[in-house]
Amino acid sequence: MEQLSNYRPTKAVIDLQAIRNNIKNLRQHLQDHVQIIAVVKANAYGHGVIEVAHAALEEGATILAVATPDEAVQIRQVIPGTDILVLGASPVQFVPYASEHNIILTVFSPEWILEAAKQHTTKTLLLHIKIDSGMGRIGTASQDQLHQLYDAIQKVPNFETDGIFTHFATADEEDAVYFDKQVSNFKELVHSLPSKPRLVHAANTATALVKDPTLQFDAVRYGISMYGLAPSGYVAQRLPFPIEQAFSLETELVHVKEIRAGQSVGYGATYTAAENGYVGTLPIGYADGMIRKLGGQSVLVDGQRCPIIGRICMDQCMILLPQAYNVGEKVTLLGAQKGEFISIDEWAARCETINYEVPCIITARVPRIYNNVR
């Protein structure tokens, strides 16, 4: 069957070179022995997992991290060989596939090990123990729990403790009291093990960029800033190198019409023109991830900021134009145009959320187009 083209002009444009540059700059910031774990969960934070994974590996990342077994399978079907770490919980039924296809699983329960040992494995299953040093999600939280888990793993012939890790709750905040407590808890538990695993990792993006270099341990998990976004305003002010936003969102005007003073636009007639002007219609709406909270947000037309007016519809939205542009005029919703720039952080602020959420909620209906593919 012939592959359909992308007939609608709405698209997300992903700059793979920006991602490579962000990894390259991190590499120069790390100690020589430290590996880079490229976090590509959630479809690479909405950027497209396979293309981003290839770019990350090209630039020197050695491990890919995902959240779920299904994400790992998606990558393994296309990219053989490279280590893939599942950061979240996995069902024991996934063990045979993981051992056969070199997928590293996160473990935090001796009961899980007992059940997983009943699964048929033909190759060594690599496991990373998750420490709950204070995040309160998954993980072992005491020496007794850790040693029970470690001993359970040791008793299974094909299971190997390949790593141990934790996740920090407040690494992107200025107040370091809770962060330091987590660091102390993690170090104490790691040091209590009979032998150190191959990989100890605790540094998320914020930790890797602005904290003590000794916390890099054997590997760092590079997430949000690999895509050119700072984890918080605190980290943004202390970045050791510039980062480049890789995600842009573009469309075109599909209709332009004159509006008279007193005329209204959109559902609920929430916008009424105060004076004569021009309205442009864009083929993008909340079904594409452009949620209704973005009403009033600016877009770029001919390098000029133009506000979204009225309520955002499921498939379309309307903007106020300074003049009657032609149908087909390019519109930038995120990214750069003629010296102006709309950042993901700007959208996040308007939506009262974090920048992580913005590219993740741009739905699969919006095709990802890649620049600088090798």
Please state the pTM of the whole predicted model: 0.95
Q: Is the pLDDT of residue 368 over 50?
A: yes
- What is the predicted pLDDT for the residue at 122? 83
Count CB-CB contacts under 10 A for residue 322.
Answer: 12
Give percent of the chain with pLDDT exceeding 90. 96
| Residue tagged 């996934």 (tokens) | 94
Count CB-CB contacts under 10 A for residue 313.
Answer: 18
**At 329, is the secondary structure helix, strand, or coil?**
coil
- Tell me how far apart the alpha carbons of residues 310 and 264 are, in angstroms, rounded to a whole number: 8
**At 88, is the secondary structure helix, strand, or coil?**
coil
Domains of the chain, by residue range, sit at 16-229, 247-355
- Domain 247-355 in this protein, CATH class: mainly beta
- What is the predicted pLDDT for the residue at 2? 45
Chain segment 120-168, per-residue pLDDT in tens: 888 999 999 999 999 999 999 999 999 999 999 999 999 999 999 999 9
**At 297, is the secondary structure helix, strand, or coil?**
coil
Question: Can you tell me the mean pLDDT for 282-292?
Answer: 98
- Tell me how far apart the alpha carbons of residues 39 and 65 are, in angstroms, rounded to a whole number: 5
**At 91, is the secondary structure helix, strand, or coil?**
coil
- What is the predicted pLDDT for the residue at 6? 82
**One of 41, 130, 187, 211 is an active-site residue; which one?**
41
- Tell me how far apart the alpha carbons of residues 149 and 166 are, in angstroms, rounded to a whole number: 15
Q: Is the pLDDT of residue 94 over 60?
A: yes
What is the token pair recorded at 231?
Answer: 């984890």
| Residue tagged 């959109």 (tokens) | 266
The helix or strand, by DSSP H or E, that contains position 148, with its residue range, turns out to be: helix 143-154
Q: Is the pLDDT of residue 345 over 60?
A: yes
Confidence of residue 374 (pLDDT cuts 50, 70, 90): confident
Fold of the 16-229 domain: TIM Barrel (3.20.20)
- Give the strand pairing for 103-107 and 83-86: parallel
- Give the strand pairing for 317-321 and 277-282: antiparallel
Whether 267 is a known active-site residue: answer yes
DSSP label at 325? P
Chain segment 203-224, per-residue pLDDT in tens: 999 999 999 999 999 999 999 9
**One of 123, 155, 267, 338 is an active-site residue; which one?**
267
Confidence of residue 4 (pLDDT cuts 50, 70, 90): low
Separation in Å, CA 30 to CA 248, 249, 352: 28, 32, 33
Chain segment 28-58, per-residue pLDDT in tens: 999 999 999 999 999 999 999 999 999 999 9
Q: Among residues 145, 139, 147, 93, which one has the least CA distance to residue 120?
A: 93
* CB contact at 8 A, 230 and 236: yes
Q: Is the pLDDT of residue 74 over 50?
A: yes
Whether 41 is a known active-site residue: answer yes
* CB contact at 8 A, 40 and 76: no
CA atoms within 13 A on the CB side of 373: 9
